[in-house]
Structure 1
Amino acid sequence: MQVQLETLSGLERRMSIALPMAAIDAQVAERLKRVARTAKIQGFRPGKAPAKIVEMNYGAQVREEVLGEQVQQGFYKAAVEQKLRVAGYPRFESVDAAGDAESFKFAATFEVYPEVVVGELAGKDVEKANTPVTDAEIDKTIDILRKQRTRFNHVERAAAEGDRVIIDFKGSIDGVAFEGGSAENFPFMIGQGQMLADFENGVKGLKEGETVSVTVNFPEDYHGKDVAGKTAVFDITLKSVAEAQLPEVNEELAKQLGIADGDISKMRAEIRKNVEREVKRRLTARNKEAVMQVLLDATTIELPKSLVELEVGRLMEQARKDLEQRGMAMKDMPLPADLFTQQAERRVALGLILAEVVEANKLEAKPEQVKAMIEEFADSYEQPEDVLSWYYASPDRLEGPTSMVLEDNVVEFVLSRANVVEKELSFDALMGNNGQ
């Protein structure tokens, strides 16, 4: 096998390879013999057709198969001999071998993995967030759980903040009704921002059966362009008022939340455990993102276009499946690749950088780390041992936890080298509650 390698650009290479035709012919002949044993050709019993007839019927197909295999094997053998780390898939093309009947020549164009040199981490600032979980956070979580179990009781009084009301309304602009401006038996809660403030204020103080005309000024940036910036008059009739009643923090609530004996202290302990688990998960993700950004900022790397294209394809397919699961028909709807290019480049870059950091600093995931990761994950299930058994039933299932441990190891390594800036993050900011 003759091999010639040339550099086309930074990471792009072209390899020209000549394979001995005698070896290819020998493989074709051998495979045709195997085909002949079972070949079904009209006029002959299976396996009894003459060799020439078998070659006439199957020769072209067999030769194409053998050539394809020889090209693949020849390329990867040459890549190993040349000590090349091939990125993505090569593009093969045959080369005109006029006057050389003894060789089959082809060329492969491909990219190689870049040399990754991680930048200096000392002196780089990495923000590490911390969020304490106090009794106040537990109380707040209990309030959320209570609100999720709110009951509404019909009352005979004027509508007030926090009530759920049912109304009929008709809206008009300059005396003309507009689309979406009318409804019957429409429910909403006062004070939740479901309706514009002018509208809600008009409902407050009404009793069942009462009607009022309310002037509502739509803001300029209102999502309904037809009414944005305009003034409408709504005739509103209140049909029902229901008062919100939150469950008491008592034995009954504890049982509803899974505490069999209704012990409130056990309920609070279980809620604290769940809250602390979620806080840890979010902090880990946030701090990991900060570390990944530092690695990206510190490292200059040329990305193989083939790997980026593969990642774009994966992201597009994932997005397509997500949209289909939401009920959107995506069969004939194209997704622009440009939407995913930046994310794909970031993921490819991080993959290469993380692999280098792990290898260079021997940060491999230890079995006990992987087991601890799975146990922590399984702890949120009713039967943790079943989750543990499921993961260890197949080596493939350990790939996810192993990758997570590797990332955690990289995070700890970077934090030990960089300048860590501690930041206390409020519970609401971490959970995205906006103070609610």
Structure 2
Amino acid sequence: MKSAVETLNPTRVRLTVEVPFEELKDSLDAAYKKINQQVTVKGFRKGKIPARVIDQRFGRGAVLEEAVNDALPKFYTEAVNEAEVNPLGQPEVDITELKDGELLAFTAEVDVRPTIEIPDYSGIEVEVDAIEVTDEDVEKSVEQLRERFASTNPVERAAAEGDVVTIDLQAKVDGEVLPDGVADGVSYTIGSGELLDGIDAAVTGLEAGGEATFTSELKGGSAAGKEAEVTVKVTAVAARELPELDDEFAQMASEFDTLDELKADSRKRLENMKQFDQATQAQERVLEKFLEIAEIPVPEKLLEDEINTRKHNLEHHQLGQMGLTLEKYLEFQGKTVEEFEAETKEQAVKGIKTQFLLDELVSQEKLNVDQEELTEHLMRRAASSGMSPDQFAQAVVQGGQVPMLVGEVARGKALAVVVEAAKVVDTNGNEVDLSDEDEEQATETVEAVTGEAEVAEDK
């Protein structure tokens, strides 16, 4: 077999391949065997029809077509390996010559990973928010904890802001009660904003047994996004009582003996959360700078596939679970279709470039992923998917996705290398040391950019 490679542009090549006919022998034998099992010729047992009879009855062309289709993937793979290119996706194959007994020639155009030169990232500088926890932040945190320990007591009066009411709901659209538009015994805190728009005003001032009707746009269910006439009946009113903020509350709500100790712990937890957010912000901004200083061409077909994948995931997974259409989602977001298309393309381009750049850095720095790192990542992914680690691991292995997980971890390690080399200062002018940050956090940052789709390499 002879092959040659022609670079069409930085992300696409054309392979030209010539195969001596004798190298098709195995595929020709397989083609005759396959046709033998599929056809019947009078006077011959099934599977025992001579090749010359098959040629006469069904045409040599049918045999050649079957043989070529069987052989092409093998010859294409050999040509790819010989040319030392990294193909992305499936090739566009064109058979240019097929001479029976002499020669098979074909071309294969395919997108390839571009050659990327890693820029000097040691000079990257970014600014992040300073870690500041105010007394107000601490008080708000303690107050949220206090809310969780609130008790309710039935009252015989009109419902007011902050009260917990038990209500029955009935929703009608165009005068018809919706199949999923009836709910009884719903507990609702007035002012929480957790149910329908307009319900707070409707129930405020009603006593047990009171009823009101209002219109509201439904947020979910069979008529999501439609205007509905909602009837609400209050069956009970209860006042919420918050516990006193004292040492007794601290002992009830935590492992601490005093309120001061509880507040100190709240401050520490808030600082840790802000530190995590600061590290994520640093990683995102360093990655932005890294992408800015690198030249990364993006294959058109790969970009088209990535855009379609992102749209599909949004429409059929995320929005589908919420009972929303893309049109209604865009309406809620206040975006036009054109703005959505542009935003999706921008995100797809960034995701592809991030994968290319970090994968190249992984290769350049010879970054490896050990079993412990892979297991830790698998555990986190399992938790986020709602599956047990064993179930998730089984699904990953069966789906052949172990290399994908390894790639995710490796990219996180590559980003951590860049972040460690960068200069990060906070808004107060203090330099931030991120050398001890968890590489798994960097992996999460990369995942948020690259999305669910992986750049597939096919040979």
Shared fold (TM-score, shorter chain, > 0.5): yes
Compared CA separation, residues 286 and 400, structure 1 to 2 (3 A):
farther
Is 2:36 the counterpart of 1:41? no
Give the aligned residue type for 1:322: Q
Identity, % of aligned positions: 24
The alignment partner of 2:118 has SS state of coil
Compared CA separation, residues 364 and 133, structure 1 to 2 (3 A):
farther
Deviation of 1:50 (Å): 3.6
Name the counterpart of 2:362.
358
Name the counterpart of 1:31.
30
Q: Which runs of 5+ in 1 are unaligned?
A: 169-184, 212-223, 227-236, 425-436
Name the counterpart of 2:410.
406
- Could you tell me how far apart the structure 1 residues matched to 2:368 and 2:287 are? 18
Name the counterpart of 1:215.
none
Contact 2:166 2:188 (C-alpha < 8 Å) held by counterparts: yes
Compared CA separation, residues 243 and 282, structure 1 to 2 (3 A):
same
Name the counterpart of 2:214.
none
Deviation of 1:387 (Å): 4.1
TM-score by length of 2: 0.60
Q: Which runs of 5+ in 2 are unaligned?
A: 169-184, 211-224, 228-232, 327-336, 429-459
Name the counterpart of 1:314.
309
Contact 2:10 2:115 (C-alpha < 8 Å) held by counterparts: no
Give the aligned residue type for 2:80: A
Name the counterpart of 2:74.
73
Name the counterpart of 2:239.
243
Name the counterpart of 2:147.
147
- Could you tell me how far apart the structure 2 residues matched to 1:362 and 1:87 are? 22
Name the counterpart of 1:288.
283
- Please tell me whether Structure 1 or Structure 2 has the larger radius of gyration of its CA atoms: 1
- Could you tell me how far apart the structure 1 residues matched to 2:268 and 2:90 are? 48
- Could you tell me how far apart the structure 2 residues matched to 1:45 and 1:125 are? 78
The alignment partner of 1:14 has SS state of strand
Compared CA separation, residues 392 and 278, structure 1 to 2 (3 A):
farther
- Could you tell me how far apart the structure 2 residues matched to 1:3 and 1:145 are? 70
Deviation of 1:300 (Å): 1.8
Deviation of 1:132 (Å): 7.2
Q: Deviations over 1:375-431 (max 9, x none)?
A: 7x49989xxxx848975997667657644542442233112322211358xxxxxxx
Q: Which of 286, 292, 307 is 1:297 aligned to?
A: 292
The alignment partner of 1:47 has SS state of coil
Compared CA separation, residues 244 and 41, structure 1 to 2 (3 A):
same
Contact 1:158 1:207 (C-alpha < 8 Å) held by counterparts: yes
- Could you tell me how far apart the structure 2 residues matched to 1:245 and 1:67 are? 80
Give the aligned residue type for 1:418: A
Deviation of 1:92 (Å): 1.0
Contact 2:122 2:418 (C-alpha < 8 Å) held by counterparts: no
Any residues of structure 2 matched to 1:11-410 within 5 Å, and which?
A: 11-24=11-24, 26-32=25-31, 34-35=33-34, 41=40, 43=42, 44-55=44-55, 56=57, 62-95=63-96, 102-128=102-128, 131=131, 140-141=140-141, 143-148=143-148, 150-156=150-156, 160-164=160-164, 191-192=191-192, 208=207, 241-246=237-242, 282-319=277-314, 320-327=316-323, 338=341, 340-371=344-375, 377=380, 387=389, 391=393, 402-410=406-414
Name the counterpart of 1:416.
420
Give the aligned residue type for 1:245: E
How many residues get paired?
Answer: 371
Deviation of 1:355 (Å): 0.8
Contact 1:392 1:398 (C-alpha < 8 Å) held by counterparts: no
- Could you tell me how far apart the structure 2 residues matched to 1:400 and 1:85 are? 16
Name the counterpart of 1:9.
9
Compared CA separation, residues 114 and 40, structure 1 to 2 (3 A):
closer
Contact 2:86 2:112 (C-alpha < 8 Å) held by counterparts: yes
Compared CA separation, residues 21 and 392, structure 1 to 2 (3 A):
closer
Name the counterpart of 2:448.
none
Give the aligned residue type for 1:123: G
- Could you tell me how far apart the structure 2 residues matched to 1:286 and 1:83 are? 38
- Could you tell me how far apart the structure 2 residues matched to 1:53 and 1:303 are? 52
Deviation of 1:165 (Å): 6.2
Name the counterpart of 1:230.
none
Give the aligned residue type for 1:417: A
The alignment partner of 2:49 has SS state of coil
Compared CA separation, residues 46 and 191, structure 1 to 2 (3 A):
closer
Deviation of 1:207 (Å): 8.0
Give the aligned residue type for 1:102: E
TM-score by length of 1: 0.63
Q: Deviations over 1:18-45 (max 9, x none)?
A: 2223433x23542245447756626443
Contact 1:32 1:58 (C-alpha < 8 Å) held by counterparts: no
The alignment partner of 1:88 has SS state of strand
User: What's the Cα RMSD here?
Assistant: 5.5
Give the aligned residue type for 1:6: E
Give the aligned residue type for 2:238: A
Q: Deviations over 1:133-189 (max 9, x none)?
A: 899877755643553565543324566542346899xxxxxxxxxxxxxxxx99975
Deviation of 1:347 (Å): 0.8
Give the aligned residue type for 2:79: A
- Could you tell me how far apart the structure 2 residues matched to 1:327 and 1:297 are? 38
Compared CA separation, residues 38 and 135, structure 1 to 2 (3 A):
farther
